[in-house]
Chain A
């Protein structure tokens, strides 16, 4: 179980399951899928910094659900059913006639919000799992050379963004130490922009100087052939997804 899968396997697996979950549109099945993804990520983490992506995607998913529920309570089309509680209706100007803020919150309205939130969060978690187990950098290496520009962009985006949070932290700390209490957007954005641009340019230069895209064919240091295991993986996802679609 410790040999790495083909870089594409997890992405295909996630994609197929995501389609299944959307088509079936059942929150319980969606949660079960997330559960399977959790088991997978736990079993197959290899200690790379990307593993943390999955746990971040779960947190982000929880945030999405709570926002969706909050919006569902405040704004929404009235769905008849068991009334849980009633919020005062906000008077809106006449030109906003289609929208109602507040009003009766029914069990049905709440559950449909939760349901939608869960489906969205499942999508996020599935792609979080894929990128946690196969970093976009590995994915890049199986992509064909003729999409060279896409490759460069992908590497820059995926390397610069994680560093971005580090830089923001560092700049804020420096400015706080200087005694700048009111840290404005501008005071962070300008040094950050400068640094990010420099970094991106340097990375592009480095890739170019090391011959990325110079040869039509690429070889692999550790070849990751498509094995029977990978086919089984994808097959299981196809079976699960077709069961969901058929149901």
Chain B
């Protein structure tokens, strides 16, 4: 269906080869995953398939890509619209109309489909993606998962032979992600659509894919089955790390397979892990907090307290009230009733320097805080604001991510590097509380483990609390001491990470699913539990 022959790609004003001499053939009805470090060129590879690269971006392309016999060299993306459906990383940025139905019909209108065909296809695709209930709604009023499904519907309605998706689940909670992935799985099996997608959260997709294209970042690529690629790769999901740690001679990509291989490990009786939380001095106290937007409740009577040195993950579906809770704790959102105290102080009274000393905040878009010309300038500004000796922040950053160029423009950094920069800037003031909103979107496993280590060090050495909102179950399992689970503005679960994650199958990390009923969440838990035994 898709043939890459001797494809090499270089962007203008860049010396880095994105791809070099890529040769591969993707068959009809195959599901292919493109993986690689952040910024390695996954999106470029995806956009080569319908000619967005180089027709829209510029760059030097050698070799040829043909899709169903049509070469993308001569054809513009519009001419391939009936053949290739493409869903970008942020679907909201690609919507052309205001209403779901019109958005789905947009592509067909552009290609002059007869109205009766359009009506039929729109109905089909609305059913296929369960969007019928929202068909007349404004797109801006939909949740992230629904928007993602609208974007997929708008691509599918053209009956493309190839569907290209760039991080289709990165902004979604585990349940919404599963909905989207099961739809893709069905398309491949029932309609023989060829699906090519890039994704960082391998644990979510690995069991569905037939082959993997691994972009190594220096232009080289390797292609093979999931087992072949993952047995050598640095970027592996927990399921493979588990297999490595246990020295299994076979790999499995689904929970079912690995459960079969590890029956003997699960059988070992181990002492129960002491999951009781330590008694800590409270740093944040939230007392029957209610937040209303107009007539809608964002939070209803939430009460909790977070102790010193505790790392707390705030989880829940999109729109459950996570951001509202964070914003009230930071003090930018006024509660309708109830109170928040941060170190016995009302956070709304904090401003400027006293705020920086008290609360460190990393926003959902880390780049919102960056406005200087270079990494060095950003760090100098942070030193100045915090009253530190010049160079302190920069050396902290170097410790966090070595090999970051000090003269690079912040917007040229990869997502992981940018997060590290913002984190160092925020931590430079040694705030007594750290709050992060969805920090790991678009990070690969390596960047995530660096990030985990930095946060753990902050919490344990300084004995300050960390509060983060996230959808990333694997991150929570590695990092958090405690999980607060929100639904419809209320706390539905609040307890140790182990108790909360194990009690809900949808939110259980991969290792826990494999090792159930043993109470192990991460590979490290398994290894240390077994080491004690031996």
Residues in A lying within 8 Å of B, measured CB to CB:
47-50, 135, 137-138, 141, 155, 159, 170-171, 173-181, 186-191, 194-195, 198-199, 201-215, 217-223
Query: A173-B327, A190-B370, A191-B365 are known contacts; what are 15 more A-B pairs with Cβ within 8 Å?
Result: A50-B98, A173-B363, A174-B369, A178-B363, A179-B352, A181-B352, A191-B368, A199-B93, A203-B93, A204-B56, A210-B110, A210-B155, A212-B110, A213-B78, A221-B115
CB < 8 Å: which of A49, A186, A220 contacts B138?
Answer: A49
Chain A minimum-CB-distance residue to B118: A221
Does B77 lie within 8 Å of A208, measured CB to CB? Answer: yes
Contact of B102 with A by CB under 8 A: yes
Does A49 lie within 8 Å of B98, measured CB to CB? Answer: yes
CB < 8 Å: which of A171, A174, A202, A219 contacts B112?
Answer: A219
Contact of B195 with A by CB under 8 A: no
- Nearest Cβ on chain A to B122's Cβ, whole angstroms: 7
In the assembled complex, the Cα of A45 lies from the Cα of B109 at a distance in Å of 25
CB < 8 Å: which of B115, B155, B370, B429 contacts A223?
Answer: B115
**Contacts A48-B98, A199-B93, A223-B115: A218 and B367 contacting too (C-beta < 8 A)?**
no
In the assembled complex, the Cα of A171 lies from the Cα of B371 at a distance in Å of 11
What residues of B have a CB within 8 angstroms of the CB of A206 in the complex?
86, 88, 93-96
In the assembled complex, the Cα of A210 lies from the Cα of B327 at a distance in Å of 38
- Nearest Cβ on chain B to A195's Cβ, whole angstroms: 8
From B142-150, B334-342, B354-362, B395-403, the one touching the partner chain is B354-362
In the assembled complex, the Cα of A55 lies from the Cα of B176 at a distance in Å of 36
**Contacts A49-B138, A50-B98: A174 and B365 contacting too (C-beta < 8 A)?**
yes
Contact of B54 with A by CB under 8 A: no
- Nearest Cβ on chain A to B100's Cβ, whole angstroms: 12
Contact of B186 with A by CB under 8 A: no
**Contacts A49-B140, A177-B332, A215-B111: A137 and B98 contacting too (C-beta < 8 A)?**
yes
The interface centre, meaning the residue of A205, A206, A209 with most chain B CB atoms within 10 A of its CB, is: A209
Does B84 lie within 8 Å of A209, measured CB to CB? Answer: yes
Does A179 lie within 8 Å of B52, measured CB to CB? Answer: no
- Nearest Cβ on chain A to B161's Cβ, whole angstroms: 15
Does A217 lie within 8 Å of B90, measured CB to CB? Answer: no
- Nearest Cβ on chain A to B414's Cβ, whole angstroms: 15
Interface residues of B in 47-79 (CB under 8 A from A): 47, 50, 52, 56, 76-79
Closest 10 CB pairs of A and B: A211-B81, A206-B94, A214-B78, A221-B105, A179-B356, A179-B355, A174-B363, A210-B107, A174-B368, A202-B93
CB < 8 Å: which of B110, B118, B138, B140 contacts A214?
Answer: B110
Chain B minimum-CB-distance residue to A186: B371
Does A194 lie within 8 Å of B140, measured CB to CB? Answer: no
**Contacts A178-B356, A221-B108: A210 and B332 contacting too (C-beta < 8 A)?**
no
Contact of B343 with A by CB under 8 A: no
**Total count of chain B residues near the partner, CB < 8 A:** 66
Does A218 lie within 8 Å of B110, measured CB to CB? Answer: yes
What 0/1 readout, one digit per residue, does chain B (361-386) give for beta carbons within 8 Å of chain A?
A: 10101011111000000000000010
In the assembled complex, the Cα of A176 lies from the Cα of B371 at a distance in Å of 14
Interface residues of B in 384-410 (CB under 8 A from A): 385
In the assembled complex, the Cα of A141 lies from the Cα of B108 at a distance in Å of 12
Does A211 lie within 8 Å of B110, measured CB to CB? Answer: yes
In the assembled complex, the Cα of A207 lies from the Cα of B109 at a distance in Å of 12
Does B119 lie within 8 Å of A175, measured CB to CB? Answer: no
- Nearest Cβ on chain A to B272's Cβ, whole angstroms: 41
Does A175 lie within 8 Å of B368, measured CB to CB? Answer: yes
What residues of A have a CB within 8 angstroms of the CB of B368 in the complex?
170-171, 174-175, 191
Does A205 lie within 8 Å of B371, measured CB to CB? Answer: no
- Nearest Cβ on chain B to A171's Cβ, whole angstroms: 5
Chain B minimum-CB-distance residue to A190: B371
Contact of B208 with A by CB under 8 A: no
Does A211 lie within 8 Å of B115, measured CB to CB? Answer: no
What residues of B have a CB within 8 angstroms of the CB of A186 in the complex?
371
What residues of B have a CB within 8 angstroms of the CB of A220 in the complex?
109, 115
Does B367 lie within 8 Å of A179, measured CB to CB? Answer: no
Does A221 lie within 8 Å of B109, measured CB to CB? Answer: yes
What residues of B have a CB within 8 angstroms of the CB of A138 in the complex?
97
Does B78 lie within 8 Å of A212, measured CB to CB? Answer: yes
**Contacts A181-B352, A214-B79: A48 and B365 contacting too (C-beta < 8 A)?**
no
A-B contact pairs, 30 of them (CB 8 A): A47-B138, A170-B363, A170-B368, A174-B369, A175-B369, A177-B363, A178-B369, A179-B354, A179-B355, A181-B351, A190-B371, A194-B367, A195-B365, A198-B93, A202-B88, A202-B90, A202-B93, A202-B94, A203-B96, A205-B77, A206-B88, A209-B78, A209-B84, A210-B158, A214-B76, A214-B111, A218-B112, A219-B114, A219-B115, A221-B118
Does B369 lie within 8 Å of A208, measured CB to CB? Answer: no
In the assembled complex, the Cα of A174 lies from the Cα of B363 at a distance in Å of 6
In the assembled complex, the Cα of A131 lies from the Cα of B361 at a distance in Å of 40
